[in-house]
Amino acid sequence: MRTALLRGLPAVLLSVLSLTIAPPAHAAETVPLVEAVARLPRVTESRDGYTREAFKHWNSGDDPADGCSTRNEVLIAEAIEAPVVGPRCRLTGGTWWSYYDQTSVTSASGLDIDHMVPLAEAWDSGASAWTAQRREAYANDQGAPSSLVAVTARSNRSKADQDPAQWLPPAGDVHCRYAAEWTGTKLRWNLSVDDTEHAALNDLAAACPGQTVTYTPFT
């Protein structure tokens, strides 16, 4: 009966109805770190089949017309003092702050763009089941400010593909921020944690009672 009634409605009215009942876009959520950690699914991780090439990066970025890769777009966005952007998006000058090790950097070549949750860790935590397109979106995600972060090459390579049970930034006073950004990234992309990672994040949450996590699920 309902189907028959809908068939009898004008096409314009059906379009309005479909817009009205469409599900709302995901909104940002802000929750205490301890609650955010509790939302993470716990699953045994596996690195079977992982290759870095499974995550296409760096692509042409959020604005293909600017001639800059994702890497350079992040560098431009995170600069404390803006670099000069030359032909073919060559960056000269500029100043950046690497929060992992509290270091000021004055050359783009001295910086790495860190995936907050490393590509290998993302693979272990659920990305192995994604499409190539979703993995590319993950590897170039500028939709959340903490997904990609400009840091010293030294600190990024020290971190490698380790989770917070294995590595934390050398600057101890940023551990709460780091735990929140790690947890927020995993929630944004619906990635899991293993038991040791979960325990480490719980310990950090207990040590950071005022810390909140803000994240928007990726769709």
pLDDT in tens, 13-45: 334 333 334 444 578 999 999 999 999 999 999
In a domain, 83, yes or no: no
DSSP annotation of 189: T
Amino acid at 45: E
Percent of the chain with pLDDT over 70: 89
pLDDT digits (tens, 9 = 90+) for 182-206: 999 999 999 999 999 999 999 999 9
Give the range of the structural domain holding residue 131, as residue numbers without chain letter: 24-55+111-215
Instruction: State how far the alpha carbon of 55 is from the alpha carbons of 51, 87, 141, 198, in Å.
Output: 8, 27, 12, 25
What does the alpha-carbon distance between residue 109 and residue 152 come to, in Å, rounded to a whole number?
9
In the structure encoding, which two tokens stand for residue 182, read together?
A: 């790690």
Query: Is 195 inside any structural domain?
Result: yes
Give pLDDT tens digits for 108-142.
999 999 999 999 999 999 999 999 999 999 999 99
Instruction: Return the beta strands (E) in 62-123 as ranges.
Output: 84-85, 91-92, 96-98, 103-105, 111-115
Q: Where are the alpha helices (DSSP H) in 24-124?
A: 33-39, 70-78, 119-124
Residue 211 lies in a domain: yes
What pLDDT digit, counting tens, does each position of 154-172 carry?
999 999 999 999 999 999 9
Question: What is the amino acid identity at position 133?
Answer: Q
Q: Is 3 exposed, middle or buried (0-12, 13-18, 19+ CB in 10 A)?
A: exposed
Query: Residue 78 domain-assigned?
Result: no
Domain membership of residue 97 (yes or no) is no
pLDDT value of position 78: 98
Dist. CA 108–CA 76, nearest whole Å:
10
To which residue do tokens 């800059």 refer?
A: 68
Q: Note whether residue 45 is domain-resident.
A: yes
Q: In the chain, how many domains are there?
A: 1
Whether 13 is in a domain gets the answer: no
In a domain, 163, yes or no: yes
Q: How far apart are CA 37 and CA 34, in angstroms?
A: 5
